[in-house]
Structure 1
């Protein structure tokens, strides 16, 4: 059993990661900004006020944790980079450091040409700021997270939505995992499976990977 802290546990992805981890017998702490609005989480999950961009929150929650899952969302471009900097900077000063599992952006994946999906001319403008923000976080982990264990997980770039939990998926590195029709698809429920599997059986330490059916 692992001790897992999920930042953003009240969100669409975070709530499913929390539930998946709890149902597998892990001790889960749901770190959210509004604990009173999380009655839908499983009974037995510890709910606390917490923020991945707060050094105080990280210092309070990290000592007992084996993994810190970042599943936060928002409309501020700098949110994810701020969280990455806070987590890495805080954990470096601690004697025992949990692993960071960052649920990042699918638009940071690469096209067959080797360019980022977010840099394509037809990339939707309304998603550009969040995509760039997630790309900045990934770049930070890759260049500045020495001494801290991290994993950045990218969902499919387009077809990532609530759906069925199948427990099946395939993984890749920097390019989307596609089916025979060229589609890259995954449900939030199976992304939760991906992340908890990675916590239980680490295979992508200090790197980024992606998953889809």
Structure 2
């Protein structure tokens, strides 16, 4: 059993990761900006005010924690980079820091041309800030010196939505996992399965992975 802090536990991804972890017997702390708005989280979840971009908050929540899950969203482009930088800078100063699992964007995955999807012609403008912000966060982790163990998780770049929990998925690294028809599809529920699997049996330390059917 692990002690897990989920930043952004009230969101679409964070709430499902929280539920999956609780169902498997882990102790979960939901670190959110408005604890009063998370009554729908499973019983037994400790809810606190927390901010992944605050060094003080990160330091306080790191005590007796095994894993930080970063599932934040809804902010300006700098949000994800600031969170990654805060976590890296703060945790490397601690004697036994938690691992970090950061839920990133699928648009940072690579096309068959080995260029990020976010650089493709016609990439939707409404998603550009968040996609570039998540790319900035990935760059922060990849440039981190020793002292922090991180994993960056990218869902499929297009077909990623709430749905059924099957408990099955396949993994890849920098390119989307595709089926026989060339589609890369995953539900939020099975992303949560993949993340808690990574918490329980780490396969991608200091690396990025993606998952799909």
* C-alpha distance in structure 2 between counterparts of 1:161 and 1:16, whole Å: 12
RMSD over aligned CA atoms reads 0.7
Q: CA deviation at 1:95?
A: 1.0
Counterpart for residue 177 of structure 1: 177
Matched, 1:32 2:10: no
* C-alpha distance in structure 1 between counterparts of 2:56 and 2:164, whole Å: 37
Q: CA deviation at 1:147?
A: 1.8
- Report the 3-state secondary structure (helix = DSSP H, G, I; strand = E; otherwise coil) of the residue aligned with 1:211: strand
Counterpart for residue 140 of structure 1: 140
- Report the 3-state secondary structure (helix = DSSP H, G, I; strand = E; otherwise coil) of the residue aligned with 2:81: helix
* C-alpha distance in structure 2 between counterparts of 1:147 and 1:115, whole Å: 30
Q: Which runs of 4+ in 1 moved over 4 A?
A: none
Q: TM-score, normalised by structure 1?
A: 0.99
Distance verdict in 2 for CA 1:16–1:88, change over 3 Å: same
- Report the 3-state secondary structure (helix = DSSP H, G, I; strand = E; otherwise coil) of the residue aligned with 2:143: helix
Matched, 1:52 2:52: yes
* C-alpha distance in structure 2 between counterparts of 1:73 and 1:145, whole Å: 25
Counterpart for residue 72 of structure 2: 72
* C-alpha distance in structure 2 between counterparts of 1:72 and 1:199, whole Å: 18
Counterpart for residue 96 of structure 1: 96
Question: What CA deviation, in whole Å up to 9, does each residue of 1:138-188 have, x standing for no partner?
Answer: 011001243200000000001111000000000001000011111101000
* C-alpha distance in structure 1 between counterparts of 2:74 and 2:90, whole Å: 22
Q: CA deviation at 1:45?
A: 0.4
Q: TM-score, normalised by structure 2?
A: 0.99
* C-alpha distance in structure 2 between counterparts of 1:127 and 1:27, whole Å: 34
- Report the 3-state secondary structure (helix = DSSP H, G, I; strand = E; otherwise coil) of the residue aligned with 1:118: helix
- Report the 3-state secondary structure (helix = DSSP H, G, I; strand = E; otherwise coil) of the residue aligned with 1:194: helix
* C-alpha distance in structure 2 between counterparts of 1:2 and 1:147, whole Å: 20
Matched, 1:84 2:84: yes
Counterpart for residue 6 of structure 2: 6
* C-alpha distance in structure 1 between counterparts of 2:69 and 2:42, whole Å: 17
Where in structure 2 are there 5+ consecutive unaligned residues?
Answer: none
Question: What CA deviation, in whole Å up to 9, does each residue of 1:61-92 have, x standing for no partner?
Answer: 11111000000001300000000001111101
Where in structure 1 are there 5+ consecutive unaligned residues?
Answer: none
- Report the 3-state secondary structure (helix = DSSP H, G, I; strand = E; otherwise coil) of the residue aligned with 1:138: helix
* C-alpha distance in structure 2 between counterparts of 1:64 and 1:33, whole Å: 21
* C-alpha distance in structure 2 between counterparts of 1:63 and 1:69, whole Å: 15
